[in-house]
């Protein structure tokens, strides 16, 4: 029975309900800061900075509060990301988390440091726990599920609330009261409650049958500013796929070479940071005629 399977590891499976709030907040941070923050700034800047500045403070605080509640509600014994098993521990009190924790901790990125490794390992572990339940259900309750539903999966960072198994106390209590018990009205037993265990089993099956597998194979990570030309070239590839490529004329190439030779290393670094912004715009918001722009200067003047 699915009931027996769930309650053998109920303490682990109850954590799954917190996955959605964590994903929503981390996705928001990636959208907000992708290619817009340097790695060193992310390591030094605290979360409280983003909760008290900017035009999006209200929505930021809303997502953060939900994340904070979810993060401190987790009771995981072990988390894993690939071959790495970081220790799941929270060294800062919940009320001091924003003031004491760098924003890098919440920016999914595993390219050069392990600042967000615990976060990545935690969300992957939660997704794997749900997949464990869904796979057991598909493999053992064959007469309840059809083949088409078996194959359905959703990328981890695209999950919706209805995709998540919620085994919290409130949700389970509501299910038991609504679907799985009756009051014994026999004389002298007016306060007895009779649980229908077959109905409980069917209720749990119905809950799980609507779930999907969560695809954890590929996570969308944040890209730090000025690291465009490192091992992560996704931004350049996205622009190439969207904008028609044309070779620079020789006079333009010579002009650019002379400009770079005359610039200091710091100026070149800042220049590359500006290119990050241009490429990000080209990938996400460029108009159809953007490819007609011949230079970065005129592109910035006309479109940014």
CA distance 159 to 17: 12
pLDDT in tens, the chain (304 residues): 787 888 888 889 999 999 999 999 999 999 999 878 889 999 999 999 999 998 999 999 999 999 999 999 999 989 999 888 999 999 999 999 999 999 999 999 866 678 899 999 999 999 999 999 988 888 887 555 454 545 588 999 999 999 998 876 666 666 665 655 555 555 555 555 555 567 777 778 888 888 889 999 888 888 887 776 554 466 677 777 777 777 878 888 898 888 888 888 777 767 776 777 777 777 776 655 555 555 666 666 666 5
CA distance 269 to 263: 10
Identify any residues that bridge with 250 across adjacent strands, giving them in sequence order.
none
- Domain limits of the chain? 2-162, 234-303
Alpha helix (H) residue ranges in the chain: 2-8, 10-13, 19-33, 39-44, 47-52, 57-73, 97-100, 117-140, 147-150, 169-179, 197-209, 234-242, 250-262, 265-284, 296-303
In 3D space, the residue among 212, 213, 237 whose CA is nearest the CA of residue 223 turns out to be: 237
CA distance 25 to 36: 17
pTM here?
0.73
CA distance 22 to 157: 10
């Amino acid at each position: 029975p699915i009931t027996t399977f769930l309650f053998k590891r109920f303490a682990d499976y109850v954590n799954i309900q917190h996955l959605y709030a964590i994903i929503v907040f981390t996705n928001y941070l990636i959208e907000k800061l992708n290619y817009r923050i340097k790695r060193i700034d992310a390591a030094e800047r605290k979360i409280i900075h983003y909760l008290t500045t900017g035009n999006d403070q209200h929505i930021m605080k809303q997502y953060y509060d939900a994340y904070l509640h979810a993060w401190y509600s987790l009771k995981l014994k072990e988390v894993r990301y690939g071959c790495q098993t970081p220790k799941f521990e929270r060294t800062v009190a919940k009320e001091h988390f924003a003031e004491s924790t760098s924003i890098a901790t919440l920016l999914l990125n595993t390219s050069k440091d392990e600042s967000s490794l615990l976060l990545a390992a935690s969300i992957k572990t939660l997704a794997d726990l749900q997949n464990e339940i869904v796979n057991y259900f598909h493999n053992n309750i064959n007469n309840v599920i059809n083949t088409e539903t078996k194959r359905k999966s959703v990328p981890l960072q695209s999950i919706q609330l209805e995709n998540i198994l919620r085994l919290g106390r409130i949700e389970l209590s509501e299910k038991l009261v609504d679907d799985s018990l009756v009051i014994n009205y026999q004389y002298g037993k007016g306060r007895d409650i009779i649980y229908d265990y077959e109905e409980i089993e069917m209720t749990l099956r119905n809950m799980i049958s609507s779930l999907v597998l969560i695809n954890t194979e590929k996570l969308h990570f944040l890209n730090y500013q000025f690291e465009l030309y490192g091992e992560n070239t996704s931004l350049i590839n996205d622009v190439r796929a969207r904008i028609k490529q044309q070779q620079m004329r020789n006079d333009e190439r010579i002009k650019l070479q002379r400009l770079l030779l005359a610039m200091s290393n710091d100026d070149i670094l800042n220049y590359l940071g500006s290119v990050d912004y241009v490429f990000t715009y080209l990938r996400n918001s460029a108009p159809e005629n953007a490819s007609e722009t011949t230079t970065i200067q005129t592109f910035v003047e006309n479109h940014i």
